[in-house]
Amino acid sequence: MTPTQFGRDTITPWTQQVAMRWRPEVRFIEARVEVLKLLEQKGRLRSFKLGETEITVRLSQYSELDVSVDRLVLRVLSPLESMDVPLSAVKDALETIRPTAIRHIDAAFTHVVEVIGDYDQLRQLAGEGLFPWWPAPITDWALLVDGTSEDGRTTSKCEFGVINREEAVERVTRSIGRTSVPQLSSARPYIQGLPVPEVALFADSNWERDPRPPVTKEAAWDYFATFVQGVTAEANALVLRLHAAVTSSVTTATKLSASR
């Protein structure tokens, strides 16, 4: 059965962060003000901070955007956020700056999906079911896996395991973890306000691609949007498979234990 979250018939990331990097552009120094003016005209400028080489914009309660001479970073800090406003702001920023020679793009997602059962027992049984070759009793575990996207064009890294409610905030904000993605401390108050499950599967996945050849300024937004749509779908599908594997492994380990 597919888990449901926040009134949706599917799972959704609890946090999202997407970064695009390009060759440094001096003309950004002037374009940054144009970006702010455009976002203000369209009602997407909740607050902002203007620096010499970077602007930081609060787009909504749950989303923020950084743009500098060589990169753009979008952060969505809650699963309650619609992606319409954040993505529209990215489109405006990229079409205003028109960066050339885009060299890298990456996205990171955290997921929390409820698993029914006792926390200690689930960790033990899921570990025994997933790693039957382990030569000793398992009390806790977390696995970090390197891989690629389905088409092989994007490298991926995912850490997952079974957590309890007390661990969720630290995991989602990456105060602890092994994926090398920057912490999301600004998400902490929003995650604390969510209905966090007593026990859950947690997954932190990172997806990276170096375009070859570099993406041109005319194609920047389309490339960004296509990449985000693709890796979001892959991340969600990966977590669904992990959730199914964890619940299935618990069932398998329970049957094996009962037959001994």
Q: For the chain, give the mean pLDDT.
A: 89
Return the ∠ at Cα 17 (arms to 238 and 51), rounded to 5°.
170
DSSP-assigned letter for residue 136:
S
Residue 26 has a pLDDT of 81
Residue 214 has a pLDDT of 76
Residue 65 has a pLDDT of 97
What is the per-residue pLDDT across 66-97, written as a single tens digit (0 to 9) for each?
999 999 999 999 999 989 999 999 999 999 99
Mean pLDDT per block of 10 residues along the chain (260 residues) reads 62 94 85 92 93 91 94 94 94 92 94 91 88 90 91 92 93 85 87 90 95 84 95 94 88 62
Count of C-beta atoms within a 10 Å radius of residue 138:
16
What is the per-residue pLDDT across 193-206, written as a single tens digit (0 to 9) for each?
888 999 999 999 99
What is the per-residue pLDDT across 27-51, written as a single tens digit (0 to 9) for each?
888 888 899 999 999 999 999 998 8
Respond yes or no on whether the N-terminal peptide bond of residue 135 is cis (omega within 30° of 0): no
